[in-house]
Amino acid sequence: MKILAIETSCDDTCIALAEPSAKDFKLMSNLISSQKEIHKKWGGVYPSFARREHQKNLVPLLEQGLRATNMLKLKVKNEKLKITVKNLKLKNILEREKFLYDKTEKFLGKYQKPEIDYIAVTVGPGLDPCLWTGVNFAKALAYWWGVPIIPVNHIEGHLLANWLTPIGESAKRKTQNVKQKTENKIKLPAICLIVSGGHTQIILVKKIGQYKILGETRDDAAGEAFDKIARILGLGYPGGPVIAQQAKQSSMINDKLSIKLPRPMLNTKDYDFSFSGLKTSVLYDYIKRNSKIKKSKEYIRLIAKEAQQAIIDVLIKKTLKAARDYRVKTIMLGGGVAANKELRIQFEKKVQEYSPEANLIVSSGKYCTDNAAMIAMSAYLRIPNKKAINWNKIKAEPNLRIAD
């Protein structure tokens, strides 16, 4: 079985090709065209720019993926698509994606249908115009090639990215280099902390496909807090990696400076979060400093470190509380912020203190930030209970939730 996966929910255009079997999940190709450089100028993502970039990138990325996996086969004769009912329908599916239509038309005229059994596409949550571009592209290919679509929830994708973790990656696991088996090796129930640019949720995973949101952020997401704090400090976008980099360079002791930021909702009995006050505290601290301090490396590094630690403290405490309360066997992380090294190290330590029996699973950083491998994995794991759907029934759902 071969799956083509498409992910365009935010500012990364992602295409993956996977071949799952009873033995293992073979990731044949996993491509990302990042728009970070474009959005850097604005300090955040502009949906209409992001959409335009998706329209430009999707076809070249698909071609690249198919070529790398020997699935790109030229037609005997390059067909210029004529005006037929079939072609008009294609035009109709892509009517709001003019740029993408031109590229898609050429691509379909030039190459044969690849050996693909399913097209998996992120339908939500995410930025509405960006989601639609990916969804429309998936619909156009599915229609043209006669392949069914599997709609994927982006958050479930982040969660199930943990199934991409090769056994042996977690510090607690001794066996190295064992390929991830497609049968379920992860012990459930589990708690999964999702920390991305748009979401911060603690999810109880009863089974694959059976979830309960135990808590979530009441305002900004953890990734959003990183991004906003980085903007205040003039560090650029995306904020997470630059804050982490600054924090790492901070020396442990600084006699002249002292910064203490709040840990919002650290001791509340629920599993909710709030990060908007933390960002405001950073802003107040920044405003009150004189310009010499503000511009000093020491200050930026120290406040970055303190802000990162404040976020880590709350994330770990609330997640472990949920894990304890629900007596789960596994704790998982997912989403861009889960790529944060310090968060991973501190989580690993705390989980071992909490219960030596509990397993912490975190997939490698490249599967935590947005990618289409997780969309392919998600589609694969959900095929038994979620039937593939005909292309004309698919739509983007920007506010889709994984559970109630």
Site residues (vs ligand KG4, CB under 6 A) = 10, 196-198, 223, 226-227, 238-241, 244, 335-337, 339-340, 369-370
For ligand KG4, the closer of residues 128 and 270 by Cβ is: 128
Closer to ligand KG4 by Cβ: residue 97 or 370: 370
Confirm or reject binding of residue 227 to Zn ion (CB under 5 A): no
Minimum Å distance from CB 240 to ligand KG4? 2
Choice between 18 and 338, CB closer to ligand KG4: 338
Residues 368-397 that bind Zn ion (CB under 5 A): 370
Shortest separation between residue 304's beta carbon and ligand KG4, angstroms: 11
Residue 237 phi, psi (nearest 5)? -130, 145
- Strand 3-7, strand 25-34: pairing: unpaired
Residue holding tokens 């990916």? 134
Task: Say if CB 340 and CB 362 are below 8 A apart.
Answer: no
Q: Does 7 bind Zn ion (CB under 5 A)?
A: no
157: partner contacted, choices Zn ion, ligand KG4, none (Cβ within 5-8 A by kind): none
129 binds, among Zn ion, ligand KG4, none (CB under 5 to 8 A by kind): none
Q: How far is the CB of 228 from ligand KG4 (least distance, A)?
A: 9
User: Residues of 151-176 as b/e, b for ≥16 C-beta within 10 angstroms?
Assistant: bbbbbbbbbbbbbbbbbebbeeeeee
196 lies in the site for Zn ion, by CB under 5 A: yes
- Please say whether the dihedral angle defined by the alpha carbons of residues 222, 226, 227 and 232, taken in this order, is positive or negative: positive
Check binding of 8 to Zn ion (CB under 5 A). no
Residue 6: CB minimum distance to ligand KG4, A: 15
CB 154 within 8 A of CB 125: yes
Tell the smallest beta-carbon distance from residue 271 to ligand KG4 (Å): 20
Measuring CA to CA, which residue among 135, 140, 151 is closest to residue 383?
Answer: 151
Q: Which of 51, 34, 33, 50 is nearest to 42 (CA)?
A: 50
Tell me the one-letter amino acid at 271: Y
Burial class (CB in 10 A: 0-12, 13-18, 19+), 327: exposed
Could you tell which of ligand KG4, Zn ion, none binds residue 339, using a CB distance below 5 to 8 A set by kind? ligand KG4
Task: List residues near Zn ion by CB under 5 A.
Answer: 196, 370
